[in-house]
Structure 1
Amino acid sequence: MERRDFTKLFLGATSIFAVPRPLIALDALSSQPVNDDDDFQRLIRHRILKQHAAHAAVAGTLNFSDRKIFTVRVPEAKDTYQLGDDTIFEIASLTKIFTALLLAVEVVHKRVQLDDPLQDYVPAGVKAPTFEGQQITLADLATHAASLPLRPNNLAASAPDAPNKYAGYSFEQLYSGLPSYHLKASPGTQFSYSNLAFGLLGQGLALKEGRSFATILRERVTGPLGLSDTTLEDDPKKSARRAQGHDFYLSPIGPTSDGVLSPAGGLRSTASDLLTLLDLFINGRGPKDLVAASRLMLSIDRPGGSDITRMALGWRRTTTNGETYYWSNGSSDGSRTFMGFNPVRRAGVVALADTASGEGLDDIGHHFLNPEQTVSTKVVPVPDFITLPEEVLLRGVGRYGHGTDDIVEISRGYTGLIVSAEYGEFVIRPQSSTIYASKMVPGLTIEFEEGDTSPARSFILRQGGKAYSYKRLP
């Protein structure tokens, strides 16, 4: 039996689901180097204007010291915000790079150590989880190796696709839930992507000093780098530059808030500010302590969730086709973001889209950093969705298996059904009473067997001309 590897369904990562996803080319462009700005811009324009991944995008490149910014917006867009290098986007999980950089600069100044236990960075009386007596360290938190879950288990809006799910999540909730986590692996040994971990990291550093995370981040990272548009809060004076967000279905959606989990995904920033951050890592331009901190970040090597990807502090390090480069990505409810750099080529890229997406501009960014990485250029029609009675929709909820080592769980989400596998989650919505499709994974369908309202016993997953049968598990 051919095993269906769900890790290959995904093209990137999102903060809505916040799970790293290995690359796959649905319809690969010839893998030629992105050796000029015209080629890079052509790919960005095709992604927005033909593949409809977003209403608008801002993409920037850094080659040695040469900066270029490209913008594109669909002609029918009604948004009026200014589009340019200073357009402010919710950068979602790119925030984790800033939080990891804050940790690294604290280490450089000997205020903390990477192997400090989390237990020393929580309120008095709160017990941090351990595994067979082994404690979680700050390095474990910053490399997704703490064996903590993706999201807190006491979120009020628990559905992965619920809008603004982290808004209002409080310090009390963060720490009251901490003793209830049961680690499944020894910290530091396995990759397990976690917004919760980065929330604990950033708030722990702040708690140690008795000041807010926003304050110490501004004082020690964004301020010294001159990143005046990289903030955790919205500035009403900058509203004309604020990108209008859109959901997966290209409908306008309001700003999001990450509450106390803001160190994991709460920053707003611009292409210009992010290129300045990349300049620190590529060319060593910045205050001496931040240069040292950036080098420390890249010196760390931990499991990264795939054969070709490892974790540095915050950054993912991918080595393939003779190239090694660093990258990060994410989505808010209304944006999709990517940035990365290739230290040997001394090249960096930032790609910001104003729409949540399962794909965004990630593969174009990867291709810029490593020309052997392929780019999806196939135009897939947007599925037509229908509304089903709740009892019919719930037929598909349950656990299914394709062999013993390929398990899928389907649960009720906010906008549809959530398909969860080892390395990812995505939303499916009905096209008929039995056939479901996903805006996040173009070309994929899931077909449940015919029935009334009784639980479905099986489904067939189709993608790329192949079909895989899954049967319901007890």
Structure 2
Amino acid sequence: MKISSALLAVCGLLILGPVAAAEDFAAAAQKVANARVSGAAIPGLVVVTVNGQEQKIQGFGLVTNGSDGKNQSQSHPPDANTVFEIGSVSKTFTALLLADMQMRGQLKLDDAVAALLPAYTIPQYQGRAITLLDLATQTSALPRLPANLMPKLADNPYADYSENNLRDFLRSYQLTRAPGAKYEYSNLGFGLLGQALSARAGKSYAELVQERIAKPLGMADTGIALTATMQKNLATGHDAQGKIVANWDMPTLAGAGALRSSAQDMLRYLQAHMHGANVKVPAGLQLVQQPQRTTGMPGLQIALAWHVQSARGQTVVWHNGMTGGYASFIGFTTDGQRGVVVLANASVNVDDIGMAALLPAPAADVGNAATEKLSAKQLAEYSGRYQLAPGAILNISAGPDGLLAQLSGQPQAPVFPRKKDEFFYKVVEASLQFERDANGKIQSVTLHQNGHASPAPRIGEAAPEAALNATKRTEINLPAEQLKQYTGSYTLAPGFKLIISEQAGQLYAQATGQGSNAIFAEAKDKFFLKVVDAQLSFQRQADGKISGLVLHQNGRNMPGPRDAD
């Protein structure tokens, strides 16, 4: 259900090739999908592509990996009718309900949430009330999750969170800033939006989705409760390690991520948004796509739920989603020519499959791209520190033969000019696109890799090499038998686990929805990552058995108890 996880790996270890041309993007998506399935990262997935008038629905892998006791040979590939949890893509449905009700004159975007939920005590900041628009644009100033979300079942974290729990949290919560002032992704905010819309309509969120969206668009296999047909076609959910996991239930925060759907239904939903001007119902299909507020990241705006991203001359509208056993992505170009939906039966990020098609990397052979000669003075213009994310700084400095790029916690790597303001790596398939302000001064850079475009504003002068290496850590060797003590699953947050595994004397850490990264010992019970600036401290009971760990990253200490075996 999240845009990004706590364990940040901006330059990920999964390196995928760039898309050569827009017209080949369906084939490119197929290539990437095949790689994800054949590499056992995801048991099965379905990719929907729309390219002009051409539509394709392609299934890959299997609906289950067989670890639930079913004979894998009797399993079958997912298809157009296979049902998946779509996680936070549900937020786009919630936003469409909001836009539909606005267009019908049933409410206004700037209505105060408190006016729709009189039974709730909605926090304010110095008299500034939270509006429906604040919730729909992730600028409500509410936290990502309510602090009193304490699930009885770790594998179904929202199931027992009640409306009374939500009221209690909001009654006691104090906003730390004015609503509308800052973008901050909040599942709580969209869950509250679903409650508000339901209250105004006098119907449940599930009923609203059926009445205003699913039935008008002919989406028979979309909803919260599983029909007999949906149950029959439901893909089995898996965590990032391939373990069968429970389905999620979200009775109170349904507007944040409770929906299930199929590829065939999501194709209808995608096409409705791509051709909103020609679709009579539901109302508001064009309104949801209109940028409403900035996110603080260059090239990225927020509409009603949807993210609107501009890079390399293209504008893409997109959203992603993830639950404990599934992942999803939906996006389309604003010219209405290309669209994609990806549905997977594992809690593994699939943005690269969708975004690589819609926002392709530079169409050049990275290893043999022609370089442009730039003077030392020209190269010096790019020198500086650029913030990709909290705690993730890309340091660009001038080296003897060109530019050197170094991400927090990683070694330096040379980048080479393809043309003015555009550089590429040779060690990985990635590139840097620098942006200038009206005066021609470099103000930001966008890292293109794995189909992602990660913008980073310039925050200062380049750091000297000594400062970059000030926190260099010394690796020590521990016996394999000792390393095996640390293996297991650790829950850092509801729906977010860190899996520690051992292979051939090397420990690996894999966060929910992310790839596996090696971790290295610097002392007994203390490990660090090399790909990002993060450390792990393991905790022991009195009998010496590992009971939990703490993830240290971005100035935060995130404890995670060890799950029962």
- Normalising by structure 2, report the TM-score: 0.66
Residue 35 of structure 1 aligns with which residue? Answer: 23
Q: How does 1:64-103 map to 2 (within 5 A)?
A: 64-73=52-61, 77=66, 78=72, 80=75, 83-103=78-98
For residues 109-134 of structure 1, the C-alpha deviation after alignment (integer angstroms, 9 at most, x for no partner) is: 1101000111112243x320111211
Say which SS state the counterpart of residue 322 (structure 2) adopts: strand
Q: How does 1:367-386 map to 2 (within 5 A)?
A: 367-372=356-361, 374-375=449-450
Relative to structure 1, the CA distance from residue 257 to residue 275 in structure 2 (aligned partners, 3 Å threshold; closer, same or farther) is same
Relative to structure 1, the CA distance from residue 240 to residue 438 in structure 2 (aligned partners, 3 Å threshold; closer, same or farther) is same
1:144 has 2:215 as partner: no
For residues 406-464 of structure 1, the C-alpha deviation after alignment (integer angstroms, 9 at most, x for no partner) is: xxxxxxxx9316399xxx97625264999552254435344464247xxx6xx533118
Q: CA RMSD in A?
A: 3.6
1:203 has 2:195 as partner: yes
Residue 310 of structure 1 aligns with which residue? Answer: 301
Distance in 2, Cα, partners of 1:92 & 1:129: 27
Residue 427 of structure 1 aligns with which residue? Answer: 498
1:284 has 2:276 as partner: yes
Whether the 8 Å contact between 2:44 and 2:59 is mirrored in structure 1 is: yes
Percent identity at matched positions?
31
For residues 62-93 of structure 1, the C-alpha deviation after alignment (integer angstroms, 9 at most, x for no partner) is: 12232101111159652736621111100111
Residue 356 of structure 1 aligns with which residue? Answer: 347
1:437 has 2:509 as partner: yes
Distance in 2, Cα, partners of 1:467 & 1:123: 44
Structure 2 counterpart of 1:45, from 34, 52, 70: 34
Structure 2 counterpart of 1:228, from 220, 228, 233: 220
The structure whose Rg is larger is 2
Moved more, 434-443 or 221-230: 434-443
Relative to structure 1, the CA distance from residue 305 to residue 116 in structure 2 (aligned partners, 3 Å threshold; closer, same or farther) is same
Structure 2 counterpart of 1:189, from 181, 187, 202: 181
Give the residue type in structure 1 aligned to 2:335.
V
Distance in 2, Cα, partners of 1:304 & 1:22: 20
Say which SS state the counterpart of residue 285 (structure 2) adopts: helix
For residues 243-265 of structure 1, the C-alpha deviation after alignment (integer angstroms, 9 at most, x for no partner) is: 11111210112222112111110
Residue 326 of structure 2 aligns with which residue? Answer: 335
Structure 1 counterpart of 2:489, from 408, 411, 415: 415
For residues 162-200 of structure 1, the C-alpha deviation after alignment (integer angstroms, 9 at most, x for no partner) is: 311001221111112112222222111211111111111
Give the residue type in structure 1 aligned to 2:172.
S
Q: How does 1:97-136 map to 2 (within 5 A)?
A: 97-124=92-119, 126-136=120-130
Relative to structure 1, the CA distance from residue 443 to residue 254 in structure 2 (aligned partners, 3 Å threshold; closer, same or farther) is closer
Residue 316 of structure 2 aligns with which residue? Answer: 325
Relative to structure 1, the CA distance from residue 21 to residue 54 in structure 2 (aligned partners, 3 Å threshold; closer, same or farther) is same
Relative to structure 1, the CA distance from residue 345 to residue 116 in structure 2 (aligned partners, 3 Å threshold; closer, same or farther) is closer
Distance in 1, Cα, partners of 2:275 & 2:321: 24
Moved more, 436-445 or 237-246: 436-445
Higher relative contact order by CA 8 Å / sep ≥ 6: 1 or 2?
Answer: 1
Whether the 8 Å contact between 1:31 and 1:374 is mirrored in structure 2 is: no
Relative to structure 1, the CA distance from residue 342 to residue 261 in structure 2 (aligned partners, 3 Å threshold; closer, same or farther) is same
Relative to structure 1, the CA distance from residue 451 to residue 84 in structure 2 (aligned partners, 3 Å threshold; closer, same or farther) is closer
Residue 289 of structure 2 aligns with which residue? Answer: 298
For residues 337-373 of structure 1, the C-alpha deviation after alignment (integer angstroms, 9 at most, x for no partner) is: 111001225111001111111x2x2112101111225
Moved more, 169-178 or 258-267: 169-178
Say which SS state the counterpart of residue 325 (structure 1) adopts: strand
Say which SS state the counterpart of residue 199 (structure 1) adopts: helix
Say which SS state the counterpart of residue 98 (structure 1) adopts: helix
1:460 has 2:528 as partner: yes
Say which SS state the counterpart of residue 169 (structure 1) adopts: coil
Distance in 2, Cα, partners of 1:40 & 1:300: 27
Relative to structure 1, the CA distance from residue 21 to residue 473 in structure 2 (aligned partners, 3 Å threshold; closer, same or farther) is closer
Moved more, 251-260 or 296-305: 296-305
Say how many residue pairs are matched.
417
Give the residue type in structure 2 aligned to 1:298.
Q
Distance in 2, Cα, partners of 1:127 & 1:94: 28
Unmatched segments (≥5 aa) in structure 2: 67-71, 362-447, 452-480, 537-551, 558-565
Moved more, 86-95 or 425-434: 425-434
1 or 2, which has the higher strand percentage?
A: 2
**CA shift for structure 1 position 333:** 0.9
Say which SS state the counterpart of residue 225 (structure 2) adopts: coil
Say which SS state the counterpart of residue 86 (structure 1) adopts: coil
Give the residue type in structure 2 aligned to 1:47.
R
Distance in 1, Cα, partners of 2:23 & 2:3: 33
Relative to structure 1, the CA distance from residue 305 to residue 427 in structure 2 (aligned partners, 3 Å threshold; closer, same or farther) is farther
Whether the 8 Å contact between 2:326 and 2:345 is mirrored in structure 1 is: yes
1:263 has 2:255 as partner: yes
**CA shift for structure 1 position 222:** 1.5
Give the residue type in structure 1 aligned to 2:58.
F
Say which SS state the counterpart of residue 338 (structure 1) adopts: strand
Give the residue type in structure 2 aligned to 1:204.
A
Whether the 8 Å contact between 1:150 and 1:193 is mirrored in structure 2 is: yes
